[in-house]
Chain A
Amino acid sequence: MQLTLEFGGGLELLCDSKKIHNVNVEFEQQNGEDKLTMKGLLSWVRTNLIKERPEMFMKGDTVRPGVLVLVNDCDWELSGQLNTSLEEKDVVVFISTLHGG
């Protein structure tokens, strides 16, 4: 699935200082579902894009508290957080709030 991922608020430093990543995510079918969810995407990102200090990005199965997630410019809290299903060409933005203001 083709997706555009953006990292902001300092998270880009964990992915080679690159803010925007156009990626093709290959995923396995789980439980007969052929949809990729945010849960699957996070796991993919941790393995493939995060080059250092993964604890700054994720805590357990989900993002570290203090990291905001937007799917197509909408807060993922509206679409079920980890259960949010993703579609082709979606734009997912991760913004860290954990820095001085």
Chain B
Amino acid sequence: MEGKRSVRMCCLCNERRASLSRPKTLEQICRECFYLAFEDEIHQIIVSNRLFIRGDRVAIGASGGKDSTVLAYVLSKLNRIHDYGLHLFLLSVDEGITGYRDDSLETVHRNQIQYGLPLKVVSYKDLYGWTMDEIVKLIGLKNNCTFCGVFRRQALDRGAAFLKADKLVTGHNADDIAETVLLNILRGDIARLSRCSSIITAEDGPIPRCKPFKYTYEKEIVMYAYFKKFDYFSTECIYSPNAYRGFAREFIKDLERIRPRAILDVIKSGENFRISTTTKMPEQGTCERCGYISSQKWCKACVLLDGLNRGLPKLGIGRSRVAIGCKEENESHGGKSIESKQCGSLDF
């Protein structure tokens, strides 16, 4: 566009200058209309999916990053103006990553003061006896996210139980969920695929988890935080560069550039997956060692911890998915067909 810069007016109110283009709808709107639309959409999602009931104690997974900061702000605001009657708490996990988590925890402490919400921090060191720094020293720079993700899941549940929370909310946004759908397809993990696109999951742990930002674009969360001048921590975890999720993310971002609605469409596809009744699905039971939810004899966290404590850091990682106590099998048996493999066991 050559010549004098044209000023576009907001397509909703037509009174103010448009400040951004919404990826979901391609509408060009001003800041004030954006705030209202953003907040109202979250409110509608909360109400139509019946995420909460009056009196619920809700723990907000808070990392100090952009999603959880905006989540804490918006949830407190909606709780106030729509009178949800919720008791909100901030719950933070300290994985023990120097130079990353110690800085972002400072942000959460600031959020605690800014939003007036009580804060609980749980640490890997206290829960498991290992910090991520120590784990990475032992296992190297591959598969870090496997350990951290598994441990974090349990850590959040423990923290939420301590707070006597009825629900746990996390700031996973549409981009995150689209990435997860892709990841699960690439891995052939049907069990996870059917769970990962639900807005509220009760099967993953003792406390139901919800993702109010499930249909919210990452771009909008960042713009909201930027215009409102929120204080958030924004650095990549130092151990993440080799994570497989990075590839899914690149792809989703490239897709978004071509057709922004693709993100919502990927999520929709994930929701619409139907699994053949002849496919063997893992059954849910409890871990023999710690009682946590598990589809195997031991939950993943116990398997990983056992490996760490015995100096066998590869236990529970990689190709063979065998029960504890068995020798590691070589999976290259000729003639085994794809259908007979237990779901979740296709590796790259």
A: residues with CB less than 8 A from B are 8-10, 13, 33, 35, 64-66, 68, 70, 73-75, 77-80, 83-85, 87, 93, 95-101
Contact = CB atoms under 8 A, between A and B. Distances in A.
Interface string B20-42: 11000000100000000000000
Contacts of B266: none
B235 A99 contact: yes
A8 B231 CA distance: 12
Given A9-B222, A97-B218, A98-B236, A66 B253 contact: yes
Contacts of B249: 66, 98
A79 B28 CA distance: 11
A100 B254 contact: no
28 contacts: A8-B234, A13-B235, A35-B2, A65-B250, A65-B253, A65-B254, A66-B218, A68-B222, A73-B227, A74-B20, A75-B20, A77-B20, A77-B21, A78-B8, A78-B18, A78-B21, A79-B1, A79-B5, A83-B1, A87-B5, A93-B226, A97-B66, A99-B65, A99-B236, A100-B63, A101-B68, A101-B218, A101-B221
- 10 nearest A-B pairs in the assembled complex, by CB-CB distance: A101-B67, A65-B253, A75-B20, A77-B21, A101-B65, A80-B1, A101-B66, A9-B234, A66-B253, A97-B222
A10 B234 contact: yes
Contact of B256 (A8, A64, A65, A85): A65
Given A64-B253, A98-B253, A99-B66, 20 more contacts: A13-B235, A65-B257, A66-B253, A68-B222, A68-B226, A70-B226, A74-B18, A75-B20, A78-B19, A79-B6, A83-B1, A84-B1, A84-B5, A85-B5, A87-B5, A96-B234, A99-B235, A101-B65, A101-B171, A101-B218
A9 to B, nearest CB: 5
Contacts of A77: 20-21
Greatest chain B CB density within 10 A among A10, A66, A83, A84 is at: A66
A101 B176 CA distance: 10
Nearest to A62: B257
A85 B20 CA distance: 17
Contacts of A78: 8, 18-21, 28
Contacts of A93: 226
B19 A73 contact: yes
Nearest to A35: B2
